[in-house]
Amino acid sequence: MCGIVGYIGDKRAIDFLLDGLTKLEYRGYDSAGVAVNCGDNIFVEKAVGRLSSLKEKLKNNLPVGTVGIGHTRWATHGRPSDLNAHPHSDCHKNFFVVHNGIIENYLQLKEDLIAKGHKFISETDTEVVAHLVEESYHGDFVLAVRDVLSKIEGSYSLLFMSKFHPDTLIAAKQDNPLVVGIGKGENFIASDIPAIISFTRQTYILNDGDIAVVQKNSVNFINRQGLPIEKKIFHVKWNAAAAEKGGYEHFMLKEINEQPKAVRDTISPHLNGKVTFNELNWNEDFLNNINKIYIVACGTAYHAGLVGKFYIEKLVRKLVEVDLASEFRYRNPIVDDKTLVIVISQSGETLDTLAALKEAKKLGAKTLAVTNVVGSSIAREAEFVINTAAGPEIAVASTKAYTTQLILMFMLALYMAQISKSIPAAEIERLIKLLKKIPAQISETLSDVEPIKTFAQMYGFNDDVFYIGRSLDYCVALEGALKLKEISYIHAEAYASGELKHGTLALIVEGVPVIALATQKSVYEKTLSNIKEVKARDAIVIGIAAAGDSELEKYLDHVIFVPDTDELLIPLLAVVPLQLLAYYAAITRGCDVDKPRNLAKSVTVE
Ligand code: AGP
């Protein structure tokens, strides 16, 4: 996720650009840049790091031009650097573009452009767009942009500026948000409403396929075929703070609801008929040389690793051990050059995980980082890196990072199974078909939160809550318990259902809430008997079940159903009600949901 801004009017563009980027930093903050049309030249300034680095560079050198574009980046292709920061331009610096999203066919387009003599200076997918405009331009700016849009594939919101057309900015939207703010003798473009709300509340919200041709006294919309589109003005009623959260009360709820798109964006670059990881380029020899795999992480990422273990052991039949990063390096782990150590980290900066990674490398292991931050310390330290496309996760409680980690681990296991032929091709094909449905099924799981809100209000003041499950349900139970603990401060514990009778059952007394996950068909009967154990002690049991399960509700107080799918994939759905339960319990208890006490978003200390 990145932040885009544009200004066209009679005032200094830079003032809106910097103000707007400040309001959009939550969308990305690893580098930033601006381009301002100053008549005889285009002023460009970029800086790696937070927006403050760019402001520092501009301090005594603010451009006076009245047309400009700006960008704050969340890297997907090309690590954070001045060169990779947007805006990007063509060879002759006549066209400038800022972009939010992923151009999936950029490699092929880049090869074709290089063959035609174009010179690239960045590693980004976005720079390809600027050179494409140069190729397509024959005097008509709008026509050139339309031609470019017909060539690129993927998800994007784009804003174009040209030296030849200082009176015009062109915006295009596909899958990623873009709004136009309507001023008097000036107009504003931004990824999101927070950037413009202090300048105007009159906006146009772009839909997929829309192209906006913006001048200081006019905004005209056309479709990809160049035909005019009529759009209604949307009057923004939100206050600025609410706008940053997209109208949600908290970042956590916004990020829970961003999961369908985050999972879809994580899947799409690695799926074209089969699963691909160009970043890995592994082969049979590489996998044959691996005789043990560790997955090492902390917190929620560790819980994703526990699920990843199931995926790799079931689909690839290789031994996997999952370890807490803070434990791994202090127990003299058995690691050599035939070991693959996979570290998972949303922030890519968790010191425990970084230290474990360095220890693994010192012992000769091959290392793979699964991170959500391109160019992070862990990403730079690992030999191989694959990225989730969750976008910035602001809430301390990790949600969309977790589900994108799960889907990436699932695709990694499928990728390894494709190479090693450890399962039949037909089974891989079946699982890929189910994988594609997950984003929509997460949306379905999010569609009715009322029952969960009610449970949170009914049981949110209990001192103890238990989560139980077997197999993958136990992995998800651990994540659900952590969510509840860290934002509602309720003492929540997760137990393998079969483990209850070995001690914990002593704590199950009348009225204790137990969240029982029962989505794993392979262990369903055993799980059901464990649920009966706790019901026999008069616990209040809320079940999480797959749609179509008519058995569970005979024994439980409440059941929350999630769409049915293969039991390997159902954790991506079962976790959603647990995230929401934690969220609404925290609300019920008046807790600070996004910034819970004692915790930090990224733990960069041991
Ligand atoms: C998750 O909700 C917590 N905020 C925490 O456990 C987190 O998952 C852990 O600190 C690991 O962070 P990382 O993924 O950035 O390495």
Q: State in Å: Cα 75 to ligand 1 middle.
A: 20
pLDDT of residue 239: 76
pLDDT of residue 110: 97
The CATH architecture to which 251-446 belongs is: 3-Layer(aba) Sandwich (3.40)
Ligand 1, atom 9, residue with closest C-alpha? 299
**CATH 3.40.50.10490 segments of the chain:** 251-446, 450-588
Residue from 57, 93, 151, 601 carrying the catalytic annotation: 601
Q: State in Å: Cα 374 to ligand 1 middle.
A: 17
> What mean pLDDT is predicted for residues 537-561?
94
CATH of 3-243, picked from 2.60.40.3710, 3.60.20.10, 3.40.50.300, 3.30.420.40, is 3.60.20.10
The ligand 1 atom nearest the CA atom of 599: 4
Q: State in Å: Cα 260 to ligand 1 middle.
A: 20
> What mean pLDDT is predicted for residues 310-335?
97
Ligand 1, atom 5, residue with closest C-alpha? 299
Assess whether pLDDT exceeds 90 at residue 155.
Answer: no
Counting residues of the chain whose pLDDT is more than 90, the rounded percentage is 86
pLDDT of residue 241: 72
Pocket of ligand 1 (CB under 6 A): 298-301, 345-347, 350, 353, 396-398, 486, 602-603
> What mean pLDDT is predicted for residues 376-382?
91
Residue from 2, 298, 475, 591 carrying the catalytic annotation: 2
Spatial separation of the C-alpha atoms in residues 460 and 581, rounded to whole Å: 9
Ligand 1, atom 10, residue with closest C-alpha? 299
Q: State in Å: Cα 413 to ligand 1 middle.
A: 23
Nearest to residue 588, comparing CAs of 465, 474, 476?
Answer: 465
Q: State in Å: Cα 489 to ligand 1 middle.
A: 16
Which of the four pLDDT bands, split at 50, 70 and 90, describes residue 523? very high
The ligand 1 atom nearest the CA atom of 401: 14
Spatial separation of the C-alpha atoms in residues 344 and 52, rounded to whole Å: 29
As a residue count, the chain comes to: 606
Ligand 1, atom 16, residue with closest C-alpha? 345
pLDDT of residue 605: 72
Spatial separation of the C-alpha atoms in residues 422 and 387, rounded to whole Å: 25
Taking only the tens place, the pLDDT of each residue in 461-488 is 899 999 999 999 999 999 999 999 999 9
Assess whether pLDDT exceeds 90 at residue 319.
Answer: yes
The ligand 1 atom nearest the CA atom of 482: 2
Q: State in Å: Cα 602 to ligand 1 middle.
A: 7
Superfamily of domain 450-588: Glucose-6-phosphate isomerase like protein; domain 1 (3.40.50.10490)
Spatial separation of the C-alpha atoms in residues 539 and 565, rounded to whole Å: 29
Assess whether pLDDT exceeds 90 at residue 596.
Answer: no
Judge whether 91 counts as a catalytic residue.
no
The ligand 1 atom nearest the CA atom of 298: 11
Spatial separation of the C-alpha atoms in residues 318 and 470, rounded to whole Å: 21
Name the average pLDDT for the chain: 95
pLDDT of residue 279: 93
Cβ-in-10-Å burial (0-12, 13-18, 19+) of 541 comes to buried
pLDDT of residue 78: 83
**Residue 157, CA atoms < 13 Å, CB-side half-sphere:** 24
Residues in CB range of 253: below 8 A, 6 or more apart: 245, 583, 593
Q: Which of 251, 298, 482, 598 to mutate to test the pocket of ligand 1 (most atoms within 8 A of CB)?
A: 298
Q: Which of 307, 326, 328, 347 to mutate to test the pocket of ligand 1 (most atoms within 8 A of CB)?
A: 347
**CATH 3.60.20.10 segments of the chain:** 3-243
Look at the block and give the residue holding tokens 């969220």: 583
DSSP 175: B
DSSP-assigned letters across all residues of 81-135: -TTTSSPEE-TTS-EEEEEEEEETTHHHHHHHHHHTT-----S-SHHHHHHHHHH
Q: State in Å: Cα 306 to ligand 1 middle.
A: 14
The ligand 1 atom nearest the CA atom of 483: 2
Task: State whether residue 353 is helix, strand or coil.
Answer: helix
Spatial separation of the C-alpha atoms in residues 86 and 100, rounded to whole Å: 10
Q: State in Å: Cα 495 to ligand 1 middle.
A: 20
Spatial separation of the C-alpha atoms in residues 422 and 557, rounded to whole Å: 42
More confidently predicted of 175 and 131: 131
Residues in CB range of 91: below 8 A, 6 or more apart: 118, 119, 131, 134
The ligand 1 atom nearest the CA atom of 399: 2
Q: Which of 259, 326, 350 to mutate to test the pocket of ligand 1 (most atoms within 8 A of CB)?
A: 350
Taking only the tens place, the pLDDT of each residue in 385-406 is 999 999 888 899 999 999 999 9
Assess whether pLDDT exceeds 90 at residue 603.
Answer: no
Judge whether 57 counts as a catalytic residue.
no
How do strand 202-205 and strand 234-235 relate by DSSP bridges? antiparallel
Which of the four pLDDT bands, split at 50, 70 and 90, describes residue 176? confident
Q: Which of 349, 603, 604 to mutate to test the pocket of ligand 1 (most atoms within 8 A of CB)?
A: 603
pTM of the predicted model as reported, rounded to 2 decimal places: 0.81
The ligand 1 atom nearest the CA atom of 353: 16
